[in-house]
Structure 1
Amino acid sequence: MVSAGLVMPAAADTDPQAYLTKMKAQEMWKVADGSGITVAVVDSGFKNVPGIRSESVLPGVSVMSPPADEPDKKYPAHDDVDGHGTTMTAAIVGDGTGGGPKGLAPGAKVMPVRTSLGTPMGFAVGAEGAKGIRYAADNGAKIINLSWGDYYSFERLKAAVQYAQSKGVLVFAAMGNEGEGNNATNLITMVPGVIGVGAVNDEGDAMPFSSHGSGTDLSSIGGKVPVRCKENTRWCVADGGTSYATALASASAALVWSAHPDWTANQVARVLIQTAGTTADGGKRSDWIGYGVVRPRKVLLDREGDPGAPDTDPLAVPAPVKTPTPSADQTAAAPVRAESADAKSGEFAWKWPALGAVFAVSLGLGITVLVKRRRR
């Protein structure tokens, strides 16, 4: 499902996304392009469309639940009626043709794990997603991208994420796009060790719609980017939201891990946090952008970041936090700007897909009493 208000056709095939230029992607790809790293995109599936080479996408699996009246029905992993999963895949490994985005980690492989996201069976996404996370962990994924959320199956999802982490997998999850409403945040981001991702625009400002809170760890571009629209029939330009930002964070991790294949998930996460573009006031963390905007070039080109202990979660002992004076209305708090954000683009907003009875983010139930506990 695509948000309303598509504003312009996608850029010409030869034009890179502005954020790739700012991130110095061409220079980074001479050092590492994601080769050797598999990113599982647990989402609405993948459709073979112009802009994504088939060799960049593994066979994957569908964990979609069959309808009650067709219990034996099977669904292919390489299909996507919604387009959300296809967009996330392109953000990571797209080839930049046909109006689609050039992926930030073009040498990586995407493992599509298809759920009922964006279909009438959306109420099953949480349970399906938990199954898909376990599948990805058991079948070679180094990174799992979760550009969606669910409330009702949280405990099952938490157990699946922890299982993946026990297998050495790094998990990224979108914060949600409810920042201008009730600021409901994705409960998955509260699981210890999960990297919660917020969205910034081309100026490095936190986007007003980006859900924010203690679960925010990193941010990336969520402005105008090429996405699948019109029920996955073509590429359009719209806000990518925290979904797209999460895919870019996953791709950033793939670049770093490709260059340092002997590192653990904790070490990859640690250097991404250490090298993130911080807030303009010098604070090390904010609820809007976390520790800052991901900047893999600082690791690959500038050789910054200390990977540290392989078995210690970098979020277990967070950097000193500069705590702002709380606003009386958290949903109206002014977004912050990342001083050195490398993600630059326009302003297109991909809204979280509707899931029917299941919400793409939690309704905020219990959020006010939840504190993200860091795994030790």
Structure 2
Amino acid sequence: MAAGALTILVAAPAQAQTDDGLWYYRDTGVAEAHATTTGEGITVAVIDSPINPDVPDLSDADLTIHEPSFCDDDGDGIPEPATSTITDAQHGTSMVALIAGDGDGVDGQPGVQGLAPAARVLHYAWESGDIGTCAGLTPSGTAAAIDQAVADGAHILNLAYGFNGATAEDLAALREAIRAGVIVVTPAGKGTGPVSEWPALVNGAVTVTGVTRSQELVAGFALHGPGLDVAAPAEDVRVLSGEDWRTYKTVSGTSLATAWTSGALALAWSAHPEATGNQMIQSLLRNTVSGEGELNRLDDYWGYGIVSVRRMLETDPTTYPDVNPLIVDAPDAQPPASALLPAPEPTTEPTPTADPTPDPGPPTTAEPVDGPPLLPVALGLGVLTLTGTVAAVLLRRRAHRDTAPGHDR
């Protein structure tokens, strides 16, 4: 698989051999794709740490920041700001730049080039410096942010974080997002072993693992499981350092693969705006580097394969079923499949009505009324009247005959 992937995903120009961390853009077909589509018309919601919106990489981004955050880090009852200029904004800023950065760097340096620079990005901060502390104080902070993002019109939810266990509020918010046709993109997690964090375990979400430039799984992130779906660039990726916001560095992690996948989906969806979210998920899984247009899952380490921007752009997703192929009907699936599928169409059977109230009097118009036809009724009444008259005459005659002289009674 790796040999075949190399010829499709890696363009191998001379500049791709540099170590500036932009291989995710140059070697994957994204640079060529920007000649025809840049993500316009698609809205991506990023729910993450605070963000520094004043960095040059985001100077041209269509960015909307929800203030305040959905986190009360110090427990004083007042939500923290959604923006920051210290290191706690490093992660959120990196995710947004990887999705919609314009490539304008600091002091003439190459910046972070986003996969979908013309996409609209909605940012929601739900954690401060310590994700555990914030999550503990406001367990429904993520749920509130997800609900707000869906209400604000997000097409894609980028949830590049992981934690052990999900609250009922979290599951309810994710359920409604998926039911609404929003694509939920999550990282497989960190470390090695089975996928075990949330929201990677959410039924119907796109769960992403990471690969290197040479199309190998990132060392230290060899996660696996039946819920792992696709792989994307996640090693030595360029980000702006939050230490001083003036220098760049390369980092690794599945959160980078998550943002890259969200950007790739926005880029392809912009080229096929008539497609639904379910059809875009179908296209993502069918048109991987090793895909041939069918839903062929490789294994629990690679899922359906490495995401291919080029193949998604070349293929019309509206030819695929409008069904989320990642929803599984299993007893332990959360949310359950029955809660994620669209509500059934209302039946067309007529609703019974009460019996009509009898008309107390004769009709006042010439309109037809319910009941026997008038002519047969009139004829019937006439026959009954004639019969009664004849009977009465006969009875009188019989009485006269019975009382006549000489007749035996």
Q: Same fold (TM over 0.5)?
A: yes
Deviation at 1:276, TM superposition (A): 0.8
1:229-270 CA distance string (max 9 Å, x none): 354634432333110000010011101211122211100110
Deviation at 1:126, TM superposition (A): 4.9
2:273, 2:115 → 1: CA distance?
18
- Give yes or no for contact 2:231–2:257 (8 Å, CA) kept in 1: yes
Q: Which residue of 1 aligns with 2:302?
A: 289
1:80, 1:144 → 2: CA distance?
24
TM-aligned CA distance change 1:253 to 1:223, over 3 Å? same
2:283 match: secondary structure: helix
Q: Which residue of 2 aligns with 1:67?
A: 74
2:324 match: secondary structure: coil
Deviation at 1:158, TM superposition (A): 1.8
Question: Aligned match of 1:208 in 189, 202, 219?
Answer: 219
2:162, 2:208 → 1: CA distance?
12
Q: Which residue of 1 aligns with 2:98?
A: 91
1:64, 1:297 → 2: CA distance?
39
1:317, 1:167 → 2: CA distance?
17
Letter in 2 for 1:97: D
* Number of aligned residues: 307
Q: Which residue of 2 aligns with 1:56?
A: 62
1:183, 1:315 → 2: CA distance?
18
Q: Which residue of 1 aligns with 2:163?
A: 150
Deviation at 1:166, TM superposition (A): 2.2
Letter in 1 for 2:93: T
2:185, 2:139 → 1: CA distance?
16
Q: Which residue of 2 aligns with 1:118?
A: 129
2:85, 2:170 → 1: CA distance?
22
Q: Looking at CA atoms only, which structure, 1 or 2, has the larger radius of gyration?
A: 2
Question: Aligned match of 1:103 in 107, 114, 117?
Answer: 114
2:100, 2:280 → 1: CA distance?
19
2:170, 2:50 → 1: CA distance?
18
- Give yes or no for contact 1:147–1:243 (8 Å, CA) kept in 2: yes
2:332, 2:240 → 1: CA distance?
35
Q: Which residue of 1 aligns with 2:82?
A: 77
Q: Which stretches in structure 1 are left out of the alignment for 5+ residues?
A: 1-10, 319-368
Question: Aligned match of 1:173 in 159, 162, 186?
Answer: 186
Matches within 5 A, 1:294-373: 294-300=307-313, 302-303=314-315, 307-310=319-322, 312-316=323-327
- Give yes or no for contact 1:43–1:146 (8 Å, CA) kept in 2: yes
- Give yes or no for contact 2:23–2:237 (8 Å, CA) kept in 1: no
2:238 match: secondary structure: strand
1:175, 1:266 → 2: CA distance?
20
2:102 match: secondary structure: coil
Tell me which protein shows more helix as a share of its residues.
2
Q: Which residue of 2 aligns with 1:262?
A: 274
Deviation at 1:66, TM superposition (A): 5.4
- Give yes or no for contact 2:146–2:174 (8 Å, CA) kept in 1: yes
2:254 paired with 1:249: no
Deviation at 1:79, TM superposition (A): 2.8
Deviation at 1:171, TM superposition (A): 0.4
2:85, 2:275 → 1: CA distance?
34
2:284, 2:320 → 1: CA distance?
12
Q: Which stretches in structure 2 are left out of the alignment for 5+ residues?
A: 1-15, 342-409
- Give yes or no for contact 2:205–2:326 (8 Å, CA) kept in 1: no
* Most deviating of 80-89 and 250-259: 80-89
Letter in 2 for 1:96: G
Q: Which residue of 2 aligns with 1:40?
A: 45
Deviation at 1:274, TM superposition (A): 0.4
RMSD, aligned CA:
3.0
Q: Which residue of 2 aligns with 1:138?
A: 151
Deviation at 1:30, TM superposition (A): 2.5
Letter in 1 for 2:299: S
2:36 paired with 1:31: yes
- Give yes or no for contact 1:127–1:153 (8 Å, CA) kept in 2: no
1:43, 1:26 → 2: CA distance?
26
Letter in 2 for 1:64: C
1:192, 1:118 → 2: CA distance?
29
With normalisation by structure 1, the TM-score equals 0.73
Deviation at 1:122, TM superposition (A): 3.2
* Most deviating of 158-167 and 85-94: 158-167
- Give yes or no for contact 2:112–2:240 (8 Å, CA) kept in 1: no
TM-aligned CA distance change 1:23 to 1:66, over 3 Å? closer
Q: Which residue of 1 aligns with 2:8?
A: none
Q: Which residue of 1 aligns with 2:173?
A: 160
- Give yes or no for contact 1:33–1:258 (8 Å, CA) kept in 2: yes
Q: Which residue of 2 aligns with 1:194?
A: 205
Higher RCO (CA-CA < 8 Å; seq separation 6+): 1
1:315, 1:251 → 2: CA distance?
19
2:251, 2:196 → 1: CA distance?
18
2:242, 2:83 → 1: CA distance?
18
With normalisation by structure 2, the TM-score equals 0.68
TM-aligned CA distance change 1:229 to 1:21, over 3 Å? closer
Q: Percent identity?
A: 30
1:183, 1:284 → 2: CA distance?
17
1:228, 1:287 → 2: CA distance?
33
1:168-189 CA distance string (max 9 Å, x none): 211000111111xx55532322
Deviation at 1:315, TM superposition (A): 2.4
1:16, 1:184 → 2: CA distance?
27
